[in-house]
Structure 1
Amino acid sequence: MKPLVRNAALSGYIELSRSLGIDPRALMKRVGLDPVGLALQDRWIPGASVTELLELSATAAHREDFGLLLAERRRFANLGPISLVLREEPDVRSAVELLVRHERMYNELLHGRLTESGGLATVKVSLDPGDPRESREHREQHRDPRATRQAVELAVGAYHGFLRVFLGARWQPLSVCFTHSAPRDPAGHRRLLGPVVEFDREFNGIVLYAEELDTPNAMADPLLRDYARQYFASIAVGDDATELDRIRELIEVLLPTGRCSVEQAAGSLGVDRRTVHRHLAASGQTFSSLVNDTRTQLAEQLVANPRRSLTEISGLLGFSAPSAFSRWFRDQFGVSAREWRARRSGDGPVPN
């Protein structure tokens, strides 16, 4: 399957587009993305569609710095759950290493690398939106850098903003490099990245003094670090995550929307429904059975929480009415949700 990115990669896209006088809805529809779906930050969408959308938007707005303008709107929390751990890392180096090591948790399109040599540190960024049936080396050699210009600048701009969170708003890198050529008017790039931005270089990324990576993280609370890392370890997605894992994650995201279908899942994965069915069949599953298994696991967690009303849980699990949820729960667990909760937590009032 082709690389995916979280919807959070487009955080601020609609507001930025409208401020520049272009129609975000029309452009998103053109590349097969659902504007309403952006409200679901953790939903996964095809990386190639995001890359194409950024290029179309830059052209429509006549802004060669569109990707950087979007990066400027990026917030720390847009990284998702990993941001909770990054805040507690002891220094800049460990935060960057963690971000690079777990980049698949928020962007499968992005490949970052941190290197140090001769007193300098380099954060290199590359994108890989190509056909996974080809080797990565082949894709790198035959890719037109103009097709990913805005996405690359968004990624480098986001890293630049990330480093400034730790090093301060006045911090300047030694150099910000891009492999593509300079824009006609570089004023926007120099405003956002400083006077050190360079084009037609051999890599995309940021160069800084290695000693700056030793800067302590002023946000960190040592008492919270172990808790943050334990939480992250429980949700981290490794490189060995299966296609079944990816589909299950999508089901969890889609259930509360009431639009959890194989078509929606396939669209988010950038494939057709037959491909989804084929991956599920290889694991002895169907889409319906996986939805049911996922609902069962979530129901155990949600119903056990006395602060959640059964009506609310019904909606979170994607049921059209509480009565449908009640019938399903009794079929799965042999008792009503109310009785099951009472047995787990002791007798007491159950919110409707």
Structure 2
Amino acid sequence: MTSFVHGIALLGFEDFALAQGLDPRATLAEIGLPGDAQDGVISGVQFNALLELCARRSANPLFGLQFGLQQGAKALGDMLYAIQNAGSVGGALQALMQYFHVHSNGAQLQLERHGGYARLLYEVTDGEAHSVRQTVELAMGISAHLMQDLLQHAWKPRGLLLRHSSAAEPGLYRRLLGITPRFDSPVNAWVFDETLLNVPLSAADERLCQLARFHLDELARITLQELPGYVQKLLRIWLPHGQVCIEQVAEHLKLSPRSLQRYLRAENTSFQALLDDTRQALAARYLRDSSLSLTQLAGLLGYADLSTFSRAFSRWNGISPQKWKRHQLSASTAPLSPACPAAGPSV
């Protein structure tokens, strides 16, 4: 299965790349990514290759680490709401692990406890990604920033384990992280006192945490193939409350309208086609089952006026909504044909 990374992982990429002497648009294009890649979902292999290319072109072996430290926890996108509003640091890390696959399904986070110490482990699981040094260090930079946000001055890690060898002088790592990593380790992990997991988060909001988890659960269930059906579900819910546009749906999905249209085209449909299909189905249902006036129905389907709805209905069905409803009423009140008598035996 091809892995993906949510485009929010490129948060701040343009400014950071420019500061490193790179042309961000040209670098994205070289990897095969569009300029608006941050607004969609991108291949995990491409994301990994982008970081490796940037490190080489900028002659900065710590590109990934510095980029992660600059992004901070904001690069986690919607997950941050569930994380920050958990009851404790341990609860925040559990939320991070539970929903990390929404952010990236080509890597894994684990929390282990060993004799008074805890380890937050990170592993790239996408077998198609080759050198993953930059991706790993970016993740460790982001997670260090997250732990500092959660714990403030109490964040005093006992160690940083990295599976790869040192890409720069160890002192450079220490200046950036406050600690010298142990390279060529069997795992990638932050090591810290287990007691820190019990530290409560004073700003926790249980209701906001529940809402964030509900939204993440919804996103986790959506695959590209399921996206058209999910968009139609939103349309059925939102249309009775007013007009619905692609910008509203895209905002709910944390995508740009352009990216949403691109994904729908990949499934041989479009936002307008889904909107038409949904309106057509709802119009037939309301006309059959309700006594609403056509003007009220037009409003429920998000049309500005009755004439616009009538034109759309005639385009779908070849007749006006008034005639369609009369035909339906005639069919429902027509007397049933008498049953044919059973055939007698032949003589």
- For normalisation by structure 2, the TM-score amounts to 0.68
Matched letter for residue 121 of structure 2: K
Q: Please, which of 92, 103, 106 is the counterpart of residue 106 of structure 1? A: 103
Q: Which residue of 1 aligns with 2:8?
A: 8
- Aligned equivalent of 2:213: 232
Give the match's secondary structure for 1:123. strand
Q: Structure 1 residue 231: deviation in Å?
A: 4.7
Q: Distance in 1 between matches of 2:309 and 2:216?
A: 27
Task: Indicate the SS of the match to 2:225.
Answer: helix
* 1:48 counterpart = 2:45: yes
Q: What SS does the aligned partner of 1:67 have? A: helix
Alpha-carbon shift at residue 114 of structure 1 (Å): 0.7
Residues 324, 227 of structure 1: alpha-carbon distance in 2 compared, 3 angstrom cutoff: same
Return 5+ residue gaps in structure 2 as ranges. Answer: 232-245, 283-298, 322-347
Partner of 2:171: 187
Greater relative CO (CA pairs within 8 A, separation 6+): 1
C-alpha offsets along residues 62-85 of structure 1, whole Å, 9 cap, x if unaligned? Answer: 111101111112243432222222
CA distance in 2, matches of 1:172, 1:326: 67
Tell me the CA shift for residue 332 of structure 1.
7.8
Question: In structure 2, what is the equivalent of residue 265 of structure 1?
Answer: 263
Instruction: Note if contact 1:247-1:265 (Cα within 8 Å) is conserved in structure 2.
Output: no
Question: Do the aligned partners of 1:81 and 1:232 also contact (CA within 8 Å) in 2?
Answer: no
Residue in structure 2 matched with residue 23 of structure 1 by the alignment:
23
Q: Distance in 2 between matches of 1:52 and 1:324?
A: 50
Alpha-carbon spacing, 1:213–1:181, altered in 2? closer, same or farther (3 Å): same
Letter paired with 1:148: V
In the alignment of these two chains, the number of paired residues is: 278
**Residues 246, 54 of structure 1: CA spacing in aligned structure 2 closer, same or farther, 3 A cutoff?**
farther
Question: 2: CA distance between counterparts of 1:108 and 1:216?
Answer: 29
Q: Given the alignment, which residue of 115, 121, 126 partners 2:123? A: 126
Question: What residue number does 1:166 align with?
Answer: 150
Partner AA of 1:193 in structure 2: L
Label 1:130 to 1:207 Cα distance change in 2 as closer, same or farther (>3 A): same
1:293 maps to which of 259, 274, 294: 274
Which residue in 2 is equivalent to 1:214? 198
Counterpart residue type for residue 217 of structure 2: A
Q: Distance in 1 between matches of 2:17 and 2:310?
A: 44
Q: Measure how far apart 1:260 and its partner are.
A: 5.3
Aligned residues: percent identity?
A: 25
Does the 8 Å CA contact 1:166/1:218 hold for their aligned counterparts? no
What is the identity, as a one-letter code, of the residue corresponding to 1:19?
Answer: A
Distance 2:119 2:177 in 1: 16
The structure 1 residue matched to 2:138, chosen from 151, 154, 161, is 154
1:57 corresponding residue in structure 2: 54
* Alpha carbons 2:160, 2:180 under 8 Å: kept: yes
Letter in 1 for 2:95: L
Tell me if the contact between 2:55 and 2:61 (Cα under 8 Å) persists in the aligned partners.
Answer: yes
Query: Could you tell me whether the CA contact under 8 Å between 1:174 and 1:196 is conserved in 2?
Result: no
Aligned-residue Cα RMSD (Å) equals: 3.7
Give the letter aligned to residue 158 of structure 1.
I
SS at 1:73's partner residue? helix
Residues in 1 aligned to 2:109 and 2:93: alpha-carbon distance in whole angstroms: 10
Structure 1 residues 226, 180: closer, same or farther in 2, change over 3 A? Answer: same
| 1:83 matches 2:67 | no
Partner residue in 1 for 2:182: 198
**Further displaced range: 63-72 or 243-252:** 243-252
Larger radius of gyration: 2
Cα deviation, 1:230-253, whole Å, max 9, x if unaligned, reads: 452244147665442357679954
The structural deviation recorded for 1:154 is: 0.7
Offset of 1:163 from its aligned partner? 0.8
Residue ranges of structure 1 left out of the alignment (5+ in a row) = 132-142, 267-272, 278-286, 301-309, 315-322, 336-352
Q: Say if 1:104 and 1:237, in contact at 8 Å, map to a contact too.
A: no
Instruction: Give the alignment of 1:63-74 within 5 angstroms.
Output: 63-74=60-71
**Is the 2:160–2:182 contact (alpha carbons within 8 Å) kept by the matching residues of 1?**
yes
TM-score normalised per structure 1: 0.67
Aligned partner of 1:113: which letter? Q
Q: Is the 8 A contact 1:21 1:61 kept in 2?
A: yes
Tell me the SS of whatever aligns to 2:118.
strand
- Structure 1 stretch 92-101 or stretch 71-80: which is displaced more? 71-80
**Alpha-carbon distance change, 59 to 219 in structure 1, aligned in 2, over 3 angstroms:** same
Displacement of 1:330 in angstroms is 8.8
Q: Give 2:242's aligned residue.
A: none
Letter in 2 for 1:161: H
Distance 1:297 1:66, change over 3 A: farther
